[in-house]
Amino acid sequence: MKTRSHRAPPLGVALDPASPLPLHRQIGEQVRRAILEGRLRPGTRLPSSRLLAQDLDCARGTVVLALDQLVAEGYVVGQPGSAMTVAANLPDEMLYAPRTPVPLEAPQPTRPTVARRARALLAASPPLASDALPLAFPTSQPDREAFPFALWAKLLEREWRRPSAEAATAHPFGHSGLREAVAAYLGMARGFTCEAREVVITTGIRHGLALFAEVALDAGDAAWIEEPGFVGVRDALVAASVRAVPVRIDAAGFPPEAAQEAAPEARLAVVAPAHHFPLGAVLGLQRRLKLLSWAERHKGWIAEDDFDGEYRYSGRPLAPLRALDRSGRVAYFSSFSKLLFPALRLSFLVLPASLVDVTERLMDRISVRAPLMAQGALARFITDGHLASHLRRTRLLYAGRREALLAAAGRHLGGLLTIEPDPGGMHLIALPVGALAKSFDDVAATKAAAMAGLVVQPLSVCYAGRSKRHGLILGYAGTPESEIEPAILKLRRVLDGLLRPPTNRSRLYKKPALD
């Protein structure tokens, strides 16, 4: 008799625990493909969720979540008290055509055809040196060891052993307990009050901003964005058919007067006043008040991105714009993924009160819902005080790593890069000086760093206009202190290589042809 480890995967499903894709989505996508390719015929009876969970060695709730999604999409049908079966009425055009072998003599394309916009994205997204994530210096990456995963596992288990009725009938905005926890936390930690009904759980800034723009703006409307700024802001506005107008920031942050000169017709300002990404500027009180006055007088909107406002290492942070808003024109965004761990994929949006009802009615027509699986556990994590404790620990941890990065850069990068201290955030900006400044290409430097096992981000990709500043964005929050100095030494060798004669560089870092 064969042991379990030698059995064929049930329904052809094979789970990969190391994949970034959640297990329930792995199950759902593989079963869906088996149906579309005809390997599971219409009317085929599926194993019970209990048997599937045993065979796949995963939680039954994971299997139920996958099957429920397939039922909702119409691939699987089920009746109370009977087994689920493959739907018998799938349209023929949904099924994949059988694959026909390609004749050996058929001409084969020598190079893939890639769209120009894809080539532009690839140019700014160098491949990693290996499958393992390098420890230095990924941006917006919290520490992987600081999060209490054992506690998190217990909270998840408790939530899914006895799921509430909300697990099946959640509000379009997300788990009510989590929304209440977020509202209470903001009142305590960020200094403004809001109602739980105004909180929308999202999967990230792109999701939340696109949703807000769909409700607040018309297609073709203009929105001011910070120049430079987070590229996800541009992506979200494009998804909502909104025209982004870059406004160059200065040392004092976003300039409302310059913005009105550039596009007086704009109806939205997307800003990060607490800590600008990537340059770290803090928007002063006078400019905050001018921006709020503009929104009130022109019936405009402000999208406030407070992505890492929890991390400030000196001085008192200014109150969020939302706390100063008296006319209900500010939408507030923040992310749990950047505070806890990226795979969580949970963020939130606090809507202006006037947009709550209409967004609730339109939510399922214009947007997807955030995954519900972890929301109940996150609500407990916040209300039990674990979030506040985690933030206290990581503030001290990241402050030490920031100092270590500044010290190591001062010792080893002199004459090539200079790094100015930043009193907040999770990254620092390194700008070229001396001989390197004359011809520094931060995209080429990023690719060379990747070949050496380092993850850095080019500053130039954060600019939407033609005039760009070159530099490197170095995230330190997710880099253990013991790894910082060795990584800086590697970066020094990379930069020395960029100063060699061009013939050597072209041979080492030649860009592959893509079209």
Q: Is CATH 1.10.1510.10 the right assignment for the domain spanning 116-146+389-508? A: no
d(CA 219, CA 243): 8
CATH architecture of structural domain 16-94: Orthogonal Bundle (1.10)
Q: Which residue has the tokens 């005039």?
A: 467
What per-residue confidence (pLDDT) applies to 373? Answer: 84
pLDDT score of 24: 87
The predicted pLDDT at position 123 comes to 63
Task: For CATH 1.10.10.10, list the domain ranges present in the chain.
Answer: 16-94
Cβ neighbours, 10 Å, residue 257? 10
State the pLDDT at residue 126.
53
> Would you say 85 and 45 are in contact if contact means Cβ atoms under 8 Å apart?
yes
In order along its 515 residues, the chain shows pLDDT tens digits of: 444 444 445 677 888 887 878 888 899 888 888 888 888 888 888 888 888 888 888 888 888 888 888 887 788 887 666 778 888 877 554 555 444 444 444 445 555 567 766 766 666 565 544 445 556 899 888 998 899 999 999 999 988 887 777 766 689 999 999 999 999 999 988 889 999 999 999 999 999 999 999 999 999 999 999 999 999 999 999 999 999 999 999 999 999 999 999 999 999 999 999 999 999 999 999 999 999 999 999 999 999 999 888 888 877 667 899 999 999 999 999 999 989 998 999 999 999 999 999 999 999 999 999 988 899 999 999 999 999 999 999 999 999 999 999 999 999 999 999 998 998 999 999 999 988 988 899 999 999 999 999 999 999 999 998 889 999 999 999 999 999 999 999 999 999 998 875 544 444 444 444 43
Right CATH number for 171-371 from 3.40.50.1820, 3.40.50.300, 3.40.30.10, 3.40.640.10?
3.40.640.10
Q: Residue 167 has what pLDDT?
A: 65
Contact, 174 vs 369, CB < 8 A?
yes
Query: Pick from 28, 22, 97, 26: which is nearest to 69 by CA?
Result: 28
Q: How many CB atoms lie within 10 A of CB 50?
A: 11
d(CA 202, CA 363): 11
| Residue 254 contacts residue 291 (beta carbons within 8 Å) | yes
Angle, nearest 10°, between helix axes 386-412 and 375-383? 90
How many whole angstroms separate alpha carbon 304 and alpha carbon 284? 14
Q: CATH 3.90.1150.10 in the chain: give the residue spans.
A: 116-146+389-508
Which residue type sits at 190? R
Other beta carbons within 10 angstroms of residue 323's beta carbon come to 16
pTM of the model as a whole: 0.73
Backbone angles phi, psi at 237, to 5 degrees: -70, -40
Angle CA 196–64–347, to nearest 5: 30
